[in-house]
Each structure stands twice: as structure tokens, then as C-alpha cells.
Structure 1
Amino acid sequence: MFSGPERERIAAALAEIACAAGEVLRRYHRGPCPHALKADGSPSSAADIEAEALIVAALAARFPGIAVIAEESAAADELAARPSQHFFLVDPLDGTRDFLAGTPDYSVNIALVAGDRPVAAALVAPGLGRAWWAGDATVEASVIEGHPGAGRPVRARPAPPSGLVALGSRRHGDPETALCLAALPVSETRRSGSALKFGLIAAGEADVYIRCGPTMEWDTAAGDHILAAAGGCVVIPGGGPILYGRYRAGYRNGPFAALGDPELAAGLALPAPRGTGGGPEQPLTAAHR
């Protein structure tokens, strides 16, 4: 297991790598960016591929021997494979549709997982010039010339008495999510793209983000850790955390709620997960290692 100082050093290194990948994305943003649809209907662009290549190479140089599971290079046989005890989850461009549409709230997500939970992570929003990273604690910094600036500690906020600020996706919505939000004292809903929503809640700028539709582990791992290290939480049906390394489920997530105030979990009733195509969830427990 990694010590606290090691996690902090790793998180800072991940922030540097994510900021460098963000510069690749910025070069493509609002300009020509060749892209195609993958088998699942989601877009993959030249920006995704180039940013991922940079991240994978940088991780191999800085952390040799630790496996990398990255969105664009993950093939079907790799998704069915058992991960090692330590591995990186990488989304080089979260929010590709919004990115291609010219909106600025896309993100780069990198997380180190030990066992079945992330222990260090970075989340960078290049279009907004914001970066978060966390080992044991979460810090935020401005992105300055492709590098993270001086970090300042951030904390998620307690639920405000005046009502919660909920974050929703521009392109994803469903009746189940609406029902979950209706059970909470939401006074305002804002639209935001990508995993940036985790960073905004960690920074105390919003309170809740619920997603009942499908996501992948590389979509959530970095934001999950950054929010948890800021005092918030991400919960699944039943109130437990997301477990990572679920290779038999194809690394797919079920419903989850990201909360700035963990006490809000008591008022939630997330729907049971739909079929994931891989049978029951199979976390990387001691029996699998």
C-alpha cells in the first residue's frame, strides 16, 4: 500500500501529466478535429487518441510496471482481463461530444487504484483552466501555461439550509435521476459537462450529482477520489462506494450519487443497477488478487 506522502507525490505527478494532455486537447478545441463513432455509438476523436498516447507514455515513464486501463486503447479482451492489484484508470477526454460542439467543460481524468478503490487522482478542466488533485487531501489550482499552479486546499460544503445546487449533464437525463433528485431539497439545477461536476462539488460550488445511466470506471474514478478526499462521497444503491476493477462487468458502473455532504445519502433511494453485460459485480477482492 502507498503511504500518505507517496499518494500526495503521485497525485501531483498525475496533475502535471493531465495538464500536459490538456494542452493537446486545447490545440484541437474549436478547430478541426477528425472523429468517428465507436461501436457503442460514442465518439472518438483525434484529440482523445493523441492525449491518451501522451498520458500512457508519461505514466509508463514515471510509474513503470503499473498497468494502465485507458478508454481509447481498451479492447474487448483487455476489458475481460483481471487487473493487477495496482492500476491506473484513464479518460483522456471526458465529454467528447461537448468538446466537439465547442463547449469548454471537458476534462482529463487519471486515477491510481489500489485494490478496489482509488488512492490518488487528478482531474483537469483545460477549457476552464482549472485542476484538482488528491492524495489524502484535495487541492485546486489554476492551469498556467500547461502546468498546475500553486494548489490551495478545498473542501466540499455542508448541505446549505437554503437548498441544494444539483449538477446535471447537458446530454444525459432520465426519469430515474429526476425521481432521485425530487427526494432531495434541490433549489437550483445547473448543467455541466464531463467529470468536472465532481470537482465543482469538491470545491463547495455545488452539492449533488446523480447519474442513473451507464458510465465507465474511467469516467468516475478520478472524480470519486477527489470528492471523497474533500469530505464528500460517491455512493451506489445500498449506500456503499463504487468498487473499481470490476473486469467481469466490463468496467461498467451502475447508478451513483456524488454528494458534497455525506449525510444526504440517507435521503437517497438510487435504483437497482440494470444488467451490465457481465453478470454480478466482481470487485477486485483479496480472493481475486
Structure 2
Amino acid sequence: MTLSETQRDRLAAALAVIACEAGEILRAHHGGDCPHVLKPDGSPSSAADLEAETLILAALAKACPGIPVVAEETCHNVPPADLFFLVDPLDGTRDFLAGNPEYSVNIGLVEGNRPVAAALAAPGLGRVWFAGTSAFEAPIRAGRPDAARPVHARPAPAAGLVALVSRRHGDSETEACLAALPIESRRGAASALKFCLIASGEADIYVRCGPTMEWDTAAGDHVLTAAGGCVVAPTGRPMIYGRHALSYRNGPFAALGDPAYADRLGLPDRGPQTRPLDADAAGAGSGLSPAASNP
């Protein structure tokens, strides 16, 4: 099915509430001795991740029964469908455990192979972004979004671009991409928050050539795209989602506030970035309940 603009906007607002509620769980753990373990890939998983994901899964099941959820901690092998959620309950776990407030809750709804509604909460900063047909930011007050305002990515400044760079994931390929652009300054930032800072006109570009997962990027991708920016793969085309056969791994990408710079990127091409829906998702149903269309 295809969601109407009204459904997308209502869902985005509902996802913002869910993301903020999950963020309250994270805030309760932040700054303390949060129990955690290392997963086989070496990344950490904490009690905060698991508690936040449990809340999100329950809330999505209530609001949108029948729509499958692919979530990092407990259901990352679920196949996609015509409509499905991508969820990262705590993006930036290493920074979170180190006391950095730049962590986020990412929830994106994908239709076909592109996100159509999303929310990204940064509880440590008291900010939440959400987007259906347009992008909004709101302060978080008492654990909920309050007084949302539209956000728009900015045109490239004449003085040069402000690049957001990861404090933990630099690499030579990313450096080569940035070296080919008129970068005026760099700013360190963690998690998927980088997409939303660009969407709010606070920076201009974020390049990532190292490994990421689809639940890391779907929500931020949609917020930035709805704000007038873009997120592109090495082909210059938009990022696509639902690649179960690749275990939901992304290739290199760049997030841009000004799409005019998309053809000046030199992202390394590591294979096709487009796909039909996976065969194992063919025929998988997806439903939208009255609760989801009118949250």
C-alpha cells in the first residue's frame, strides 16, 4: 500500500513521541555504570539499548500492528516488506557509555526501499527531529516533543562548507572525499545526529565511507531529505533500504544540505546500491491499522 501525505505526517509525529519515550530510558542510564557486553563484531550493546528497544517494539506493535520491525538488538534478521520499520534504540552506544550526550534514538518507516516517515531523538541534547512530508524539530520537555518548528537545510555558504566528522570513525577514503570539496571548517559530532544538524542548517556535509547499518541512517536520511537536503550513494542516487541479503549493511554515502554538491563527490563504489524487494519478502504482508493512520 502507499501511505497518504496525511498518514505520513501523523505517523512521523507519533514516532517522535515514541523516540522521546525511549530517550527517557536512555537518559536514566546515561552517566552511570550501565551494564554492557561486546557483540561479535566488537560493538557494545548495553542494558539501555535493550530496554529502549523493548519499549519501541511494544509501542510500534500497538500503533502499527502488522508492520514488521527490523531493530538492531533483538530482531535484526527480520526480512523487509512493502512497509517496515528500521530501528536503532541507541545510536552511538560507545559515546553514550563514555558520557557523551550526542547519542540518538532512530526510528524510520520504509515504503518500498525509501523511508517515508521518521523520528530521531537526541535526549542528551533535549532535541527531537521528525519528518513525514516536511521536516520539523522540537525541544523535548517532560519526555515529549514540544512546540515543533519547520527546519530547512541551508544553501552552501560562500565561505565554504562546514563538515561534520565522526570522532571515532575517520578513514583515508573519507578524507579524500572531503579534500575535493571547499571545506571551510570541521566539527566533531557523534551518532546519526549529524544528519539532523545538517537538516537544521547548522552544518553542510557528512561523508561516511566506513561501515554502517541501515538502522543507523534511515531516520536521519529521511529527516534531511524532507528538509531539502539529500543522502547519496556512490552512484549519485539516493540511499536505498531493505537489503536483507546484505544483512542491512550500507555502502559509502554522503549527507548534503545543498544537493548541488552531489555530483562533486568521489565516493568509493563497492557495488550496486539498488535492489528490488528481497525474494524472501515477496508476499510478506504489511498492514496499517487505524491507530497508525490516526495516532
Pairwise same-fold verdict (TM > 0.5): yes
Aligned residue runs from structure 1 range 53-64, under 5 A: 53-64=54-65
The 8 Å contact of residues 113 and 241 in structure 2, kept in 1 or not, is answered as yes
So what's the TM-score if we normalise by structure 1? Answer: 0.94
Aligned residue runs from structure 1 range 42-61, under 5 A: 42-61=43-62
Cα distance between partner residues in 1 of 2:103 and 2:7: 28
Cα distance between partner residues in 2 of 1:97 and 1:286: 32
Cα distance between partner residues in 2 of 1:85 and 1:68: 12
SS at match of 1:160: coil
Q: Which residue of structure 2 lines up, in the alignment, with residue 283 of structure 1?
A: 275
Q: Which residue of structure 2 lines up, in the alignment, with residue 219 of structure 1?
A: 216
Cα distance between partner residues in 2 of 1:283 and 1:215: 18
Cα distance between partner residues in 2 of 1:194 and 1:11: 20
- CA drift of 1:238 comes to 1.3
1:164 aligns with 2:161: yes
Q: Which residue of structure 2 lines up, in the alignment, with residue 145 of structure 1?
A: 142
Q: Which residue of structure 1 lines up, in the alignment, with residue 34 of structure 2?
A: 33
SS at match of 2:130: strand
- CA drift of 1:83 comes to 1.4
So what's the TM-score if we normalise by structure 2? Answer: 0.92
SS at match of 1:90: strand
Residues 149-186 of structure 1 show CA distances to partners (whole Å, capped at 9, x for unaligned) of 01100100000001100000110000000000001100
The 8 Å contact of residues 249 and 281 in structure 1, kept in 2 or not, is answered as no
Cα distance between partner residues in 2 of 1:43 and 1:281: 28
Cα distance between partner residues in 1 of 2:73 and 2:265: 33
- CA drift of 1:269 comes to 1.1
The 8 Å contact of residues 249 and 282 in structure 1, kept in 2 or not, is answered as no
- CA drift of 1:285 comes to 4.0
SS at match of 1:215: coil
Selected match of 2:266 from 264, 269, 287: 269
Selected match of 2:252 from 251, 255, 260: 255
- CA drift of 1:64 comes to 0.4
Residues 212-267 of structure 1 show CA distances to partners (whole Å, capped at 9, x for unaligned) of 00000000000000000000000000101111000111100000000000001121
1:91 aligns with 2:81: no
- CA drift of 1:284 comes to 3.6
Q: Which residue of structure 1 lines up, in the alignment, with residue 288 of structure 2?
A: none
Identity of aligned residues (%): 65
- Paired amino acid for 2:30: H
The 8 Å contact of residues 8 and 120 in structure 1, kept in 2 or not, is answered as yes
Selected match of 2:171 from 174, 198, 218: 174
Cα distance between partner residues in 2 of 1:130 and 1:99: 16
The 8 Å contact of residues 248 and 281 in structure 1, kept in 2 or not, is answered as no
SS at match of 2:65: coil
Cα distance between partner residues in 1 of 2:139 and 2:88: 20
Cα distance between partner residues in 1 of 2:9 and 2:135: 10
Gaps of 5+ in 1: 275-279
- Paired amino acid for 1:131: V
The 8 Å contact of residues 246 and 281 in structure 1, kept in 2 or not, is answered as no
Residues 90-125 of structure 1 show CA distances to partners (whole Å, capped at 9, x for unaligned) of 000000000000010000000000000000000010
The 8 Å contact of residues 168 and 192 in structure 1, kept in 2 or not, is answered as yes
The 8 Å contact of residues 198 and 224 in structure 2, kept in 1 or not, is answered as yes
Q: Which residue of structure 2 lines up, in the alignment, with residue 119 of structure 1?
A: 116
Residues 57-114 of structure 1 show CA distances to partners (whole Å, capped at 9, x for unaligned) of 0000010000000000135xx25xx411100000000000000000100000000000
SS at match of 1:64: coil
1:74 aligns with 2:66: no
- CA drift of 1:286 comes to 9.2
Gaps of 5+ in 2: 283-295
Count of residues in correspondence between the two structures: 280
Cα distance between partner residues in 2 of 1:207 and 1:72: 31
Aligned residue runs from structure 1 range 7-26, under 5 A: 7-26=8-27
- Paired amino acid for 1:45: S
Against the structure 1 CA distance between its residues 49 and 286, is the aligned structure 2 distance closer, same or farther, given a 3 Å change threshold? closer
Cα distance between partner residues in 1 of 2:160 and 2:189: 19
